[in-house]
Chain A
Amino acid sequence: SQQGEEDPQALSIQEGENATMNCSYKTSINNLQWYRQNSGRGLVHLILIRSNEREKHSGRLRVTLDTSKKSSSLLITASRAADTASYFCATLNSGYSTLTFGKGTMLLVSP
């Protein structure tokens, strides 16, 4: 079963614009992770934020986590055509070692 729900399902922007994707989840978590997937191939780990953290940065990525609302957002600044991919949030539930993924957001960045 899916834990997270990403919003929007699809996002189309121009190069240089910022892209924001949101993720909501249902149960308590240990951490929340974001992954990127190009053309239905393997997943690439982008960033991990722990349940006691509120914001984290990595290069052009900014992730926020609001455990009271059970939601997270991923911001990609100054997007590039190479950022075109599907983005998934995944939660690591307390006491478990498995990730539960959402359905993903498809991001299209046009030159």
Chain B
Amino acid sequence: DAGVTQSPTHLIKTRGQQVTLRCSPISGHKSVSWYQQVLGQGPQFIFQYYEKEERGRGNFPDRFSARQFPNYSSELNVNALLLGDSALYLCASSLAWDSVNYGYTFGSGTRLTVV
């Protein structure tokens, strides 16, 4: 079975541009969460979607948005990129909306560099 797949692997964008990151969860998993990991820090929660509905949102500006499609894949959009948006963006999938009993499965991430 394929794990969580994210695309692209690496991305370089210019300040002010917009970017779309993609994530395909493990087959059968209905929940997708997005995390931002700045160099030297732990991941920070951005969004969670379950059954195509937003279930949670972290402390990020409105420039960040996401959606989940009927096949449970997800996109993360970031508008008006800032240098500080440079980070590793991680997608995590899970069967249920919570991780009370099981941990999340993470993808390998998209490394975004804003210049």
A interface residue numbers (CB < 8 A to B): 1-2, 4, 30-31, 33, 35, 40-46, 48, 50, 88, 90, 92, 96-104
Contacts and interface: CB of A to CB of B under 8 A. Distances in A.
Contacts of A1: 44, 59
Interface residues of B, number: 34
Given A48-B103, A99-B104, A43 B56 contact: no
Contacts of A46: 103
Contacts of B104: 43, 45, 99
Given A97-B56, A103-B41, A42 B90 contact: yes
A43 B33 contact: no
B110 to A, nearest CB: 11
Contacts of A40: 37, 39, 88, 109, 111
Contact of A92 (B42, B44, B99, B111): B99
Interface of B: 4, 31, 33, 35, 37, 39-45, 48, 55-56, 58-59, 88, 90, 92, 97-109, 111
Given A50-B100, A92-B99, A97-B56, 6 more contacts: A42-B106, A45-B103, A45-B105, A97-B97, A97-B98, A102-B42
A35 B45 contact: no
Contact of A42 (B48, B97, B108): B108
B104 to A, nearest CB: 7
